[in-house]
Amino acid sequence: MSRSKRHVMISWIGANDLKNTSGGAADGKPLGPIASTLKSQSFDSVELLYNYPETEVKPYLRWLSEQVDMPIKAYRESLVSPVDFSAIYEAADKNLARLVAEGSELSILLSPGTPAMQSIWILLGKTRYPSRFYRASIEEGVEEVTLPFELSAEYIPAAKDLSSSKISQLSEVSTPVDAAFDSIITRNPDMQKLKAQAQVLAERDVPVLIYGETGTGKELFARAIHNASDRASRPFIPLNCGAIPPELVDSVLFGHTKGAFTGATSDKPGVFEQAHGGTLFLDEFGELEPSVQVRLLRVLQEGTFVPVGGTREKRVDVRLISATHRNLMEAVANGTFREDLFYRIAVGVLHLPPLREREGDLSLLAGMILEALSEQDVGLQGKKLSPDAMNLILKHPWRGNVRELQSSLLRAALWCQGDTIIAQDVRQALFQMPEKNSGLLDKDVSKGIDLQGLCDDVMRHYIPLAFDAAQGRKTKAAELLGFNSYQTLENKVKKLSIS
């Protein structure tokens, strides 16, 4: 004989439930939606979700257990906000999936909770987990709700099928240990020239200084140089100098002996010793204080150092690759960076351009990133960019460079509908960073600047904003921009190919 399904009611605990714990027929006060429903309907068990503090929920659960004769289970679901659709979706989906897997017949109480919670219940109960719906109110009492429509679950984000750890893993933009020059994807002539220069430097055991904004691939170049050098079989030790507390710089760089300071319970090698025979990559090199620069110069000149608390010199053989986003020549002129150290580290110099200056690389990199995400998880397979989405990507300044591009495409891929990432998905995934006031005024003229290009960029930025503010009215948009007539504005739009 087959066993009948267990009939389970599930609901969020709402504010009216927590407030109304003393009502009933005896005193005429109303009960909350959950208690009212359980007193009028029969279920085999009850499953409750909540996001309130335990101090409020536990007394309510004790009271509710005294009111009804059926098993009650409650689960805390951490929500950043009671109207956070994605978090509510994940919590509701997880619990409904568990109950269905247990063979339960589902009934959902819609009344408690926020409108966002009610919307998610209806979406899931009409698509993935067929359910009966109930509502409870003071005016109408408790009644089963008939929803006279059907839904198609077209919008099921890829994020739903990925665990938190998997999403975190996908979001970590790390340089592969086996990075080679083939890992540097480009068809930009300037970048191809830099790759060729870096390959030459890899064959020569000289210090290398890599300039570039955050996210331009400085560590990728450093690892490729190491892996293509005679030191490839020896350690590659990366260190972000900007992340070291000032009081620990010497210990991190040169190590310390047991008892050198409070907490030094054993001898510990520094990064120079760890990199012996191999390559030491010091990122954000320009952040080091002048006092540390003196000690670095000595170890680079003589190949020796003394650990903190030690008395004996140690000798190391290390190739140094340093990287910075700062203008070290300017720092030398200002007296904040030692000139002798600068010439010691800047034997081979690579200046990596920002992504916005790598003509032809944006669409190539976007495709490669989506392909890589597809390989890392089946939930992201087949994702592609629509033409409008690609146009948005091509217009964005990408101040975070490749790192920003990768994280933005991951966000867009996780939340897009279907396999095609549209412009709206990209727009929602982008962060609009405020402009630096000095952005147009701090260009290095000694390297040459495109003054007309800067003016064009300013117009490309503000003209679409003016059209939005003027609700598409040309005359008003021209007035907002200070043009004498809309014909002048039209000429600029045509010249700059602004859509």
Distance CA(166)–CA(410), nearest Å, equals 12
Cα 182–chain centre separation:
26
153: left (phi over 0), alpha (psi -120 to 50) or beta: beta
Average predicted confidence (pLDDT) for the chain? 84
pLDDT band at 153 (very low <50, low <70, confident <90, very high): very low
Token pair in block for residue 97: 């999936």
Tell me the backbone φ, ψ of residue 301, rounded to 5 degrees: -80, -45
The answer to whether the beta carbons of residues 7 and 105 sit under 8 Å apart is yes
State residue 99's pLDDT score. 92
**What pLDDT score does 380 carry?**
79
Burial letters 25-42, b for 16+ CB under 10 A, else e: eeeeeebbbbbbbbeebe
Q: What is the pLDDT of residue 470?
A: 79
Mean pLDDT for the stretch of residues 124-148: 84
CB atoms within 10 A of CB 289: 11
Measured CA to CA, the distance from residue 393 to residue 385 in angstroms comes to 10
For the segment 306-362, what is each residue's pLDDT rounded down to a tens digit?
888 888 889 999 999 999 998 888 888 888 889 999 999 999 999 999 998 998 899
What's the half-sphere exposure (Cβ side, CA atoms, 13 Å) at 77? 24
Q: Per the confidence metrics, is the pTM higher than 0.85?
A: no
281 burial type by CB count under 10 A (0-12 exposed, 13-18 middle, 19+ buried): buried
How far the first Cα of the chain sits from its last, in Å, is 69
pLDDT of residue 172: 59
- Amino acid occupying residue 415: W
Beta bridge partners of 74: 48
Q: Is the pLDDT of residue 387 over 60?
A: yes
Residue 157 pLDDT more than 60? no
The b/e string for 113-144 (b: 16+ C-beta within 10 A; e otherwise) is: bbebbbebbbbbbbebbebebbbbeeeeebee
Is the Cβ–Cβ distance between 360 and 369 less than 8 Å?
A: no
- The shares of helix, strand and coil residues in the chain, as percent rounded to the nearest 5, are 45, 15, 40
- Rounded distance between C-alpha atoms, residue 144 and residue 264, angstroms: 68
**What is the chain's alpha carbon radius of gyration, rounded to the nearest angstrom?**
31
Q: What phi and psi values does residue 378 have, to the nearest 5 degrees?
A: -65, -25
What phi and psi values does residue 254 have, to the nearest 5 degrees?
-115, -5
- Indicate if the pLDDT at residue 245 is higher than 80: yes
> Does pLDDT of 2 surpass 60?
no
Instruction: For tokens 């540390």, name the residue.
Output: 292
Q: Is 432 exposed, middle or buried (0-12, 13-18, 19+ CB in 10 A)?
A: exposed
Distances from the Cα of 334 to the Cα of 116, 284, 337, angstroms: 57, 18, 8
Please give the average per-residue pLDDT across 391-401, as a whole number. 89
Kind of pairing between the strands at 6-12 and 104-109: parallel
Mean pLDDT on 54-75: 92
Give me the percent of the chain exceeding a pLDDT of 70.
Answer: 88
CA distance 183 to 162: 27
Q: Which is nearest to 418 in space by CA: 383, 393, 391, 387?
A: 383
Tens of pLDDT, residues 259-314: 888 777 888 899 999 999 999 999 999 888 888 888 899 899 899 988 888 888 89
Q: What is the pLDDT of residue 1?
A: 35
Q: Is the pLDDT of residue 107 over 50?
A: yes
What is the number of helices (H) and of strands (E) in the chain? 20, 15
Supply the DSSP symbol for 107.
E
